[in-house]
Amino acid sequence: MKVEGRVAVVTGGGGGIGGAIAAGLVERGARVVVADLDEHAAQRVVATLEEKTPGSAVAVAADVSDDEHIRGLVERAETEFGPVDLYFANAGVTGVPGLEIEDSVWEQSFDVNLRAHIRAARLLVPRWVERGEGYFVSTASAAGLLTQIGSATYSVTKHAAVGFAEWLSVTYGDKGVRVSCLCPMGVNTPLLYSGDASGHALGELATRAVTTAGAVLEPADVAETVFAAMEEEHFLILPHPEVLEMYRNKGADYDRWLRGMRRYRQALEESTPTDS
């Protein structure tokens, strides 16, 4: 899949991975609707893109937990540029660490990290099947293949996002619909460090679990990996290649992997600095 001349929608595009993907799309000749809950953030990204390539992008304020907002994104893209070829379901929330979490927090996590993908696919996939092509890129996480120490909401909903992307590929992959699933570990964005800011011991543990597991990549590096994988139409996009070996170890001996993860969590807890 080449992105030149394509029309794309990027949710969570106001910065981080989404902003880097939007920039990479424009550099490769695509036209982009940059959507974000933070309208000002989306506008800042678009201002930078428009400065370099006028007419390449528009900013839209959107809450992807709202079906009408997603519909509005697609309609705006069609009005500005034409039918949507590429959809990057990138918006995400970390949720709250621990077990004693209110149902409303679980609902928000499912709405943003999973149902937003379902809503977009429900709208776009039938059109792509009719046209014979389209590309859906789901931003999940290595936590969707492995797990997330600290945050149950993040781990569970990212697993679900991976599962939905798999289902899309199995069901529509022979009908012209391409699907990729992005599963990075640590990326240098505010979301990575949100656990430290939570004031919750498990939140701090969640951040340390990711930052000590492998390199913390820059969003632009992740975006480059995304485009390279799309050109080859790979399903699983792993900016941290070591995740594949971890995933293989998990599948090879699940109980051993669980014991190892418990030891890792315990080691992190024991090494956590305490206030003097």
Residue 247 designated active-site:
no
Q: How far is CA 44 from the centre of its chain?
A: 20
Q: How far is CA 77 from the centre of its chain?
A: 20
* Pairing outcome for strands 134-139 and 177-182: parallel
As a whole number of angstroms, the distance between CA 156 and CA 99 comes to: 12
As a whole number of angstroms, the distance between CA 120 and CA 71 comes to: 8
Catalytic residue (choose from 87, 135, 154, 193)? 154
The residues annotated as belonging to the active site are 154
